[in-house]
Structure formats: C-alpha cells, structure tokens
A and B are shown apart, each in its own frame.
Chain A
Amino acid sequence: MSAIPVPRLALPRAGIFRRFASQEALLALAVIGLAIAVGFVNPRFLAYRNLADILLGNAYIAIAAIGMSMVIISGNIDISVGALIGVLATVSGSLAVAGAPTLVAWIVPVVLGVLVMAAQGAVVAYLRIPAIVVTLGMMSILKGGLISVTGGKWITDLPQGFHLADLNLLGVPMPVAIMVVATALAALWMRYSASGRAIYATGGNAEAARLCGVNPQRTVVMVFALHGFFAGIATLVYATQLRVIQSTTPPGLELTVITAAVVGGVSILGGVGTVVGATLAAILIAEITSALVFVNISPYWTDSLRGGLILATVIADIVRRRRRASRGRRI
C-alpha cells in the first residue's frame, strides 16, 4: 500500500461463531424450522405443491425487497414501490394486449421503473428532501393516476407468449430462478463491488463517505435506479403470472417489501444489512402467511403477525446497537 513495505502477518478473521450467528443464518434456520414445525401439525403443508406455491407466489416480493434493501442501506426508504409495481404491471399488460412484441411488453416496465425511481432518487439526493416525503408523494401520484387513466378496468385476454412466469429455466420455475439469480448477483455486487461499498458507506456515515471521495448524491441516485430495476423485474414475475391484471396496486405491497428488508436484517438507520437476508425474510413471511392456514389460524392474523415481526426486528436491532454503544471501548 505505501512506501514502507510491511510483511504480511496473519491477523485473525472473524470467528466462525459470528458468521453463523448472522441474521441470514437465523432466517434460514427459521424458514426450515417453521416448515418442520408446521409439518408436524399438518403434513400437507410440506407437500411439494404447497411449498412451490409459496415460492412462486412470493418470488416477486423477494425481488422487490432486494432493491428496497439497497435503498434502506443507503439511509433512505421508498414507499412508492407497491404503487409502482401496480402501474408497471398495467403498462406491461396493456402493451401485450395492444399487440406490442412480447419483448417490448417485458422491457418497457423495467426501463420505466428505473426512470421513475432514478427521478425520485435525484430529488432526494440533490434537493435534499427526505425520501419518505418524496416517495409518499409519488405513491399517491401513481395510485391516483392508475385509477384515473384505466378507470379501474381489468386487463384480460393476455397473449400466450406474455406469461414469462410460466416458463422454466433448467427445470426451475422462472419466478424462483429469477429470484435466486437476482439475489445472488445483487449480493455479490453489494459485497464485492466498489459501488456496493459506497452504498454502505453512504448509509453508515454520508459525511465520512464524502470525505473519502464517495459521491453520496450519485450513490443515492444509483441506488434508487437499481431499486427501480428490481421493481421492474418484480413486476414481470408478478404480472406474467396473472391471467387477469387488475388495474390497482396490490394492497400493502410496499409494507410487505419493507418488512422483508427490515426483518432480513437491514438496519432502518442505514449502513447495515444484506440482500440475502431480505430474500430469506420475504420467504419466511410468505411461509408464515401460508402456515396460518394450515394450522387453522385465521389469515386475518397475517398483518398483525407481520407487524409484530417488524417491531421485534427493529427493537432487536436498536437494543443491539445500544448495547454495543454502552459497552464502549472493548480494547
């Protein structure tokens, strides 16, 4: 690194225990543990069909949660993603029905997602308006606009080739394949790329990041643009599963996506978290929802449980930070 060469001494790496005590490991254990526990009560829960349905029906949430994780890690939040997915689904379906080439119907929503989110990111970064305000405004614009433009009409008679989600990739249903590939690529990028590191630095301490030559504004715009990209991909997985696209936004979708990110270990204060955790948390939440049916608990409890989960995670995060802070100097 510098003018004075220093012999490389082996400093210890993080202990095995700490690696396993990570949020991702806990979530993976929870996903498996819950499946086994519910399987004891009702073996039908473990039927291939049911497990596949859980994954297929919720892969798009996991994909959207990837982008959401990046946004929250960068120290921001987005609550417009649910409305955006609704709009993009309608755009995609309308294009397909209007006879546009299938590829166009698939690509346009992704491009549109990137543009809308990048624009929001630019407002957040350069006009210094809190992301919650900007995205709240965008959420209303998108929701209202969607209803006004479509008049609430459903899109039917989608052409055959439109249904991307019905395809298989090497024997794996497309939604799951996309979810796994997207999560893996995003995880590698977040961990090993300079830009990924810039996201953590911006969320952890924007001022320090700036002094180190990271451009926090550009980073925020990039994060939002990526979030828009993943929202576009999520839309594809979501919309091409449907035979009928309702011109409304899936209710509470943004909250489910945010919950997945936060339960996945992304700190709501920024700077900490992984996309793998978010994907696992999305699967866990879907699993819980399904499990309620199988153990005969009213599905109306889903929202409350989800709320409990998010509060428990956030409180655990804050408590952990406090303890760390009060422990002060360790060395």
Chain B
Amino acid sequence: MSAAATVPLLEVKGLEKSFPGVRALSGVSFDVRPGEVHALLGENGAGKSTLIKIVSGVYQPDAGEILIDGRAMRFAAPEDARRAGVATIYQELLLFPELTVAENIFLGHAPRASGGRIDWRAMTAKAEALLASLDIDDLAADQVVGSLSVGHRQRVEILRALSHDARILIMDEPTAALTEADVTRLFAIVRRLKERGVGIVYISHRLDELFQIADRVTVLRDGAWVGARDMADTNAAELVQMMVGRRIDNLFPKIAAPIGAPVLQARGLVRNPTTRDVSLEVRAGEIVGLAGLVGSGRSELAQVLFGITPAERGEIRLDGQAVRIDSPERARAGGIAYVPEDRGAQGLVRAMSVLHNFSLAALGGLSRLGFIDRAAERRMAEAGVLRFGVKTSSVDELAGRLSGGNQQKIVLGKWLANNPKLLILDEPTRGIDVGAKAEIHRLMCELAGEGVAILMISSELPEVLGMSDRVLVMREGRLVAEFDRAHATSQAVGAAMMGGDDPMERAA
C-alpha cells in the first residue's frame, strides 16, 4: 500500500457548509486513498456528520470541491454519490426486516430475467458469491433479516454497498452497538476490503479502535479542520488535545471565590445504564468541571441530578438535607437550575417572546392568585436582558429570532432569575462566539462569587481547566478521577478521559 503515490479515491477540498445560524463546516479538506482506512475524529457537533452527508450527496456544500479519482464531481442527490461508488453505512441500519439477506442486498437492483421478472436464482447465487468473497460463513442468503443480530445486519449493509460496486465506504460509528466478537469480525471484513483496494472513511469515538484499524486520522473541531496524522505517528493524548481544544486562550480569567459549605452532596447515584455509582460534592462558590468524552455519561448525570431521569438508587443532599429529586419541578423547588446542552430542543421556547422565556422558570414567584404580575415580569426580563447583555430589539422579540449566543444568554438568565443554589451547566459555551463565551465565563465567576455552587460540563478542555476549582472526570458512567485546580493539566485530565491503559501506553 504505497498509498502516497496514488491518486486519492476520494478527495474533498475547502468544503464550506452553513445552516441557518450555524456554520457546520468551514474549509475542511480530506482524502482517502485506495486500500486505506481514514478515520474522522471529533466531538459531537464537530462537523463529521455534515462532512459525510456532503460526501454521500445528502447535502450540497456551499463551497469547495469533491473529487473522485481526481475528477471533480457534483452530487445533487445520494443517488449520484452511489453511482460514483460512494456508499454510506449509517448508525441506524436501513434494512427491511421482513425481507431476506439476498433481497435486502439487491433491493432496487435485483438481477432481471426475461420480461422484467426478478431472477431469484441469480440473485441468490450473487448474494452467496458476495458472502463467500468476504469469508462470511455464518450468514445465509435466504435468512430473514429481522431475525439477525446487529452485527449480522451490519454485514448485510456492507454487502449491499459492495453489490453496488462501492469503492468508497463510509462507516459512521460502526461499532457503537456491536459486541466484542462482532467488532473483531467487522475488523476482519474491513481488512479484507482494504486488500481489495476499497477506501474506507471510519468514524468512531473509540480511540483504541482507531489505533487497531485506521491508517490515518483527520480531526475536526467546531466545523474546522484541526489536523491530519498518520496513526503510526500519533498517540491518544495528542488526538484528545486536537479534539477538545486549543491551549488555554481568549478565556475570561477565573476569579477566585471564597468556597463555603457543601451545597450538593450525592452518594452512590445509579441510573442504569449511564450512571453507575456516582458520588460527588459541590460547594458554595465552587465551580466544578465535569470532563469526559461524548458518551461518558456526563449529561446523563446532570439529568439525574435535575430529576429528568431520576436516580434509581443513591442519595442526594442539598445544604445537608436529604432530598428526593424525582422531577424537574422538585429539583427547581430545591434550588437547582439546569441549563441543558441542546438549548434549541430543551431550553428555549422559540415561538415565545424573550420576555416570556425569561419569566417561564419563575412564573410561580411572579404570580399572585394564578395571575402574572406583568410589571414585575417585565422588570425581571429587562433586568435580565441588560445584565446578560442579550442583544435584542426589545423583550417582545421572539426568542427564536436571536442568535445562538443570545439564546444561550436567555436560557442562562431565565434560570438565574430563580436565584438557584446549584447551577448545572451542560456545555454552556458550545457553538457561541468568543465574545459571548467570555461574557458567560464572566457571569459564572460572578455567580460563584455570590455563593452559587456550579457544576459545569464541557467538552472543551481549556474551558474545564480554565474555569474549574476542581475537575471531575467521567468515563463509562463512573467518576474515574478528580483533580484540584493546581493538578488539573490537560495531559492528566486527557489521560483520565481516555482511560484504559492501552492508548496511554502509546502516549508514553
């Protein structure tokens, strides 16, 4: 595989893609050579999905080129990409459970006999040939797909791609739902495809897998190209560094606040399968950073603490008092505020005005006999708009019309109107511009100074390291490490996030 000399099978140059209000990709370049596995790495929202959707013809780029065998292509529809030899295997497999393996493979392009009838015998024979070509002996052409395991179904999808003579295979988190044994078999198939000169784009969060199967890796962050490496020349620590952020820069400097009594004490929280025996403490005036990779259970822990998915076991104390938090209402009453990660879906009512969004979490306190004190409501919202620097023409503007950063400020402000004791922030600055980010960091410090206990989830290591008095690291639903501010270095925290001695040995 002296790949360097050959023309890449697939190459994209300078891809740009924006959605209303979001820049999903800016200037991303990437290529795959024959017989190569090229991994795409990045946190959620880094632009991986957008990139593969452009390559497979689902989206059209705003700018940039797609080259197949060095020739510029324009994919107006997924059909065009397929014809050019690009096949995508998504996380959710797109199979028909009532049909057989052979029927699924050849759906839409079954071999025909005279008169347009489907040539069943030829179809079965071709399916068997495909199975044999990959040494798959535990799958038969006439099995009904609905009865198969996830690993088997995935193989059927791969066969379907090959039946279209796909030369470029995009696999989106192929191992996410697989058992250990299935992963091994998948890798065997991937190696076989490499031998046949198929180029594979491989997306996964599991770094140890990438070291097993990938030849090169490209890292994306916030829609931008961060870097590409040969797997042989890199290590887990470097990749995490590339994924989660630059060195500490343009952050609001943390102001130390006096740290008081514990506000939140949680012991042995369990919520299967994502929260497994978590104990933690957050004190008044303290900012605790919660680090971890996507899927490590950070957001899920936040939702347990806020009663959205209440703990099945364990104890929560607020200000030393044991409390039962089994609904967001209870959590709110107990003085907990939660600013969710997905503010679009969870935090904001876009069809409501800024005014009404601000007061939504405080309606109880603003109402007398069930009716809202409108003057107080307006005062509160206007004070919030000024305090949080929300840029809006008036508080009567619809919240959905503001920019992402301004929406985030409303969500934050809405919660703070309740004077919470404990503030849980999930990715408080994701997807907002630098100015708004510094603004939010300033606010966090201000709140800590007022004695609010803050638990902050962030995928940006610099943010975690810069803002936190203490850093907790989560992995696979457990808290695996704790660092105080002095000892929280990106090396140490990154290593704890990755866990497993495997990749870190490479790092050493």
Interface residues of A (CB under 8 A from B): 1-4, 6, 8-9, 11-14, 192-195, 197-198, 200-201, 204-205, 207-215, 267, 271-272, 324-331
From A6, A13, A213, give the contact of B329 (CB < 8 A). Answer: A213
Q: Which B residues touch A214, using CB under 8 A?
A: 360, 363
CB contact list, B362-398 vs A, under 8 A: 362-364, 366-367, 370-372, 374, 379-380, 382-387, 391-398
Q: What residue of chain A has the Cβ atom nearest to residue B330's Cβ?
A: A213
Flag B18-53 by CB within 8 Å of A: 1 or 0 each. 001100000000000000000000000000000000
B340 within 8 A of A: yes
Contact B349 A200 (CB under 8 A): yes
Contact A272 B403 (CB under 8 A): no
Q: A11-B394, A194-B372, A328-B21 are in contact. Are A6 and B387 (CB under 8 A)?
A: yes
We find that the number of chain B residues with CB closer than 8 angstroms to chain A is 58
Residues of B within 8 A of A330 (CB): 401-402
Whether A198 touches B379, Cβ cut-off 8 Å, given contacts A208-B348, A210-B328, A211-B340, is no
Measured in the bound complex, the distance between the Cα atoms of B374 and A24 in whole Å is 22
A222 → B minimal CB distance (Å): 12
In the complex, the answer to whether B364 meets A213 with C-beta atoms within 8 Å is yes
Q: A192-B371, A207-B346, A328-B21 are in contact. List 13 more A-B contacts (CB 8 A).
A: A1-B379, A1-B384, A2-B416, A11-B382, A195-B370, A200-B356, A204-B352, A211-B346, A211-B347, A212-B332, A213-B332, A324-B398, A331-B401
Q: A11 with B385: in contact, given A1-B380, A210-B328 (CB under 8 Å)?
A: yes
CB of B388 to closest CB in A, whole Å: 10
Question: A4–B442 Cα gap in the complex (Å)?
Answer: 14
Closest Cβ of chain B to A196, distance in Å, is 9
CB distance from B450 to the nearest CB of A (A): 5
The answer to whether the Cβ of B492 comes within 8 Å of any Cβ in the partner chain is no
B361 near A: Cβ within 8 Å? yes
Can you list 10 contacts pairing A with B, beta carbon distance less than 8 Å? A194-B363, A194-B371, A198-B363, A200-B351, A204-B351, A205-B346, A211-B338, A329-B403, A330-B401, A331-B391
Contact B349 A201 (CB under 8 A): yes
Report Cα–Cα, A67/B384, bound state, in Å: 34
Q: Please state if A205 and B350 are interface contacts (CB–CB under 8 Å).
A: yes
Tell me the nearest residue of chain B to A270, going by C-beta.
B351
- CA separation between A209 and B350, bound complex, in Å? 11
Residues of B within 8 A of A328 (CB): 20-21
The residues of A that contact B333 with a CB separation of less than 8 Å are: 213
Q: How far is the CB of B288 from chain A (nearest CB, A)?
A: 21
Which residues on the A side are within 8 Å of B419 (C-beta)? 2-3
- Shortest beta-carbon distance from B71 to chain A in Å: 33
Q: In the complex the two chains form, is A271's CB within 8 Å of B349's CB? A: yes
Closest to A203 in B: B351
**A-facing mask of B306-342, CB < 8 A → 1, else 0?**
1010000000000000000000110011000010100
Q: Contacts A194-B371, A271-B352, A331-B406 hold; do A1 and B363 have CB atoms under 8 A apart?
A: no
Closest Cβ of chain B to A50, distance in Å, is 39
Alpha-carbon distance between A11 and B385 when the two chains are bound, in angstroms: 9
Least CB distance from B304 to A in Å reads: 14
* B351 and A6 contact, CB distance less than 8 A: no
B14 within 8 A of A: no
What is the bound-complex CA distance between A106 and B211, given in angstroms? 77
Against A, the Cβ 8 Å flags (1 = close, 0 = not) of B415-449 are 01101000000000000000000000000001000
Select from chain A the residue with minimum beta-carbon distance to B22. Answer: A328
Instruction: Please determine whether A3 and B347 come into contact, CB atoms closer than 8 angstroms.
Output: no
Q: Is B508 an interface residue (CB 8 A)?
A: no
CB distance A331 to B403 under 8 Å?
yes
Which B residue sits closest to A271, measured CB to CB?
A: B351
Residues of A within 8 A of B356 (CB): 197, 200-201
A215 to B327 CA separation, bound complex (whole angstroms)? 10
B345 touches A207 (CB 8 A): yes
Given known A-B contacts A3-B419, A200-B352, A210-B328, A194 and B392 have beta carbons under 8 A apart: no
How far, in whole Å, are A330 and B363 apart by their CA atoms in the complex?
28
B392 touches A331 (CB 8 A): yes
Q: Is the CB of B395 within 8 A of A212?
A: no
The 8 closest A-B pairs by CB, nearest first: A328-B20, A204-B349, A14-B396, A212-B361, A271-B351, A6-B383, A1-B380, A194-B367
* Contact assessment for A2 and B370 in the assembled complex, using a CB-CB cutoff below 8 Å: no
Q: How far is the CA of A83 from the CA of B38 in the complex (A)?
A: 63
Docked-complex contact A324 and B367, CB < 8 angstroms: no
CB–CB B386/A6 < 8 A: yes
**A326 proximity list for chain B (CB < 8 A):** 20
Q: When the two chains form their complex, are residues B349 and A208 in contact, meaning their CB atoms are under 8 A apart?
A: yes
Q: Which residues of A contact B360 (CB under 8 A)?
A: 197, 201, 208-209, 212, 214
**Beta-carbon contact of B394 and A12 below 8 Å:** yes
Residues of chain B within 8 A of A325, CB atoms compared: 20, 400
Q: B152 in the interface, Cβ–Cβ < 8 Å?
A: no
Residue of A nearest to B376 (CB): A1
Contacts of A207 in B (CB 8 A): 345-346
Cα-based distance from A80 to B349 in the complex (angstroms): 29
In the complex, chain B residues whose CB is within 8 Å of the CB of A200: 349, 351-352, 356
Query: For residue B345, which residue of chain A has the nearest CB?
Result: A207
Q: Are A192 and B394 in contact (CB under 8 A)?
A: no
